[in-house]
Amino acid sequence: YIYNGFDTSAFEPPSVFTEGKRVVYIGAMVPAKGFHVLARVWKDVIAEVPDAKLIVIGSARVYDEDAELGKWGVAHENYEASHIRPYLSDGDGHPIESVEFKGLLGKEKIPLMQKASVGVVNPSGKSENCPGSAIEFQSAGTPVVSNAYRGLLDTVQHGRTGLLGSESEIAENIVALLKNPGRSREMGRAGIKWVKHRFSFESVCQEWVNLFEAIQNGEPVQNNYPLVNLSNNLKYAREGMRLLKIALPGGYNIPSIY
């Protein structure tokens, strides 16, 4: 595989800084993007850091501009009513004071990302191959908190550019960074360097050039992907099946079993 390329120039801040104890979530407000996981544990964050602020960027219209929105205007009514409002409503049915829904934003999202202490991307980890928002946050000098699952394992360096764990550890990891702004800034600086190193167009385009030259010259094309995180999401079984299909005559005619 070859990673997606990314231009950091629009996101990189002049200096890594934070503004208050601010958490920013970016993503489509649909079940597959996991905002309900963050909504469910936000009360635990507030219990530890009472002055924390959650800014939510996105809506159900990220992928469907004609989507009908619910009472709060951020997601489908059934999703809002069952998975968001029960955890984030005040006594009058409005969002609690610590939460602000921004809806869809363009470039104006960038200053919010740059000033955040924590960036949250799909805390369920599902449906992610190469989560662009995780790369954007790190380019903006903001550490990412999410699930140690699928594409997040390839785009975030746990313990260096963010904190990855299970859904039950999301609140704990957010609190850990909010209470330690120095660590948050250190991870932010590391995130900028990581994205430039791994996702720059200079390195990614060179990988494409190498691939095309190998094909043109009739050379074997190598699968250079690293065999890491083998226990995650049955990766060991998937790799075993791939090798078996190569070894068996007609192996690629074997249908997927999962």
Amino acid 223: pLDDT: 67
Amino acid 30: pLDDT: 96
**Mean pLDDT score across all residues of the chain:** 93
Q: Is 258's pLDDT higher than 70? A: no
Least confident of 60-74, 86-100, 198-212, 242-256: 242-256
- Say what percent of the chain tops pLDDT 70: 98
- Average pLDDT, integer, range 70-78: 96
| Model pLDDT for residues 119-143, shown as the tens digit of each residue | 999 999 988 988 999 999 999 999 9
Three-class DSSP labels, the chain? CCCCCCCCCCCCCCCCCCCCCEEEEECCCCHHHCHHHHHHHHHHHHHHCCCCEEEEECCCCCCCCCCCCCCCCCCCHHHHHHHHHHHHECCCCCECCCEEEEECCCCCHHHHHHHCCEEECCCCCCCCCCCHHHHHHHHCCCCEEEECCCCHHHHCCECCCEEEECHHHHHHHHHHHHCCHHHHHHHHHHHHHHHHHHHCHHHHHHHHHHHHHHHHCCCCCCCCCCCCCCCHHHHHHHHHHHHHHHHCCCHHHCCCCC
Write down the pTM of the prediction.
0.90
pLDDT confidence tier of residue 238, bands split at 50, 70 and 90: confident
How far apart CA 180 and CA 157 sit, in angstroms, is: 18
- Average pLDDT, integer, range 90-117: 96
| Model pLDDT for residues 138-189, shown as the tens digit of each residue | 999 999 999 999 899 999 999 999 999 999 999 999 999 999 999 999 999 9
- Average pLDDT, integer, range 228-232: 81
